[in-house]
Amino acid sequence: MAKPTKNAPLYCTLLTIFTVVMALISFYFHNPLWIIIGLLPAVIYEIYRTEEGATTKYSSILLLIILVLEIILVVFRVDFDLAAFLGEESKYVGGYYLPLGDIKVFGPILTAILAVILFFRTAGVYTKWLSVIICLGSLTAVYIINPAFFQSILKIIINGLFDRINLY
C-alpha cells in the first residue's frame, strides 16, 4: 500500500537541507563521517517510503546496513588497501578500469549504485527524490575519501544513466 504523501514534500525538503549542511561540514573538515551520518535520516525515510518490490525494499535496507558499516570503518579508522590485497592496481568494472585503494571508498560507491537502482525501480516521486539525495551524498563521501576515484566512478554513473535513458 502506498505511503501517505501529505508531509512527504516537507520531510524531503528538510532531509535535503540537512544532507547539504552535513556535506558542507564534511568538506570543511575533510571528513566523510559527517556526510555519512547526514545520509542516515534520508535512508531511514527511504526504507519507510519504499514499497515491497522485487529488489526495492531489500535495496533500501541494504543502504542502511552499508552506511552503518561505513561509519564503523571511518570511526575506527580501518585502513585496508584492496590493491595490495588483490595484487592489482585496478579492476575492470562497467567498461572502465577503476583504481583500487582504501576499502572505505566502496561503501559510498555501493550506496550511490543502490540509490540509482532505487531511482529507476521505484515509482513514487518522493522515493526518487530521496534516491537523488542519497546518491549525491554518497558521491560527496567518495570525493572526500578519494577525489581521483570519484572521477572514475562519476564516468561510470553518467554512462549508465545515458544507457538507461538512451541518449546515445
> Over the chain, what HEC string results?
CCCCCCCHHHHHHHHHHHHHHHHHHHHHHCCCHHHHHHHHHHHHHHHHHCCCCCCHHHHHHHHHHHHHHHHHHHHCCCCCEHHHHHCCCEEEECCEEEECCEHHHHHHHHHHHHHHHHHHHCCCHHHHHHHHHHHHHHHHHHHHHCHHHHHHHHHHHHHHHHHHHCCC
Residue 92 in any domain: the answer is: no
- Which structural domain, as residue segments, surrounds residue 127? 8-80+104-146
Residue 51 in any domain: the answer is: yes
Tally of structural domains, the chain:
1
> Mind listing the pLDDT tens digit of every residue in the chain (168 residues)?
567 789 999 999 999 999 999 999 999 999 999 999 999 999 999 999 988 877 888 999 999 999 999 999 999 999 888 888 888 887 776 556 677 788 899 889 889 888 988 998 888 899 999 999 999 999 999 999 989 888 877 877 777 777 767 654
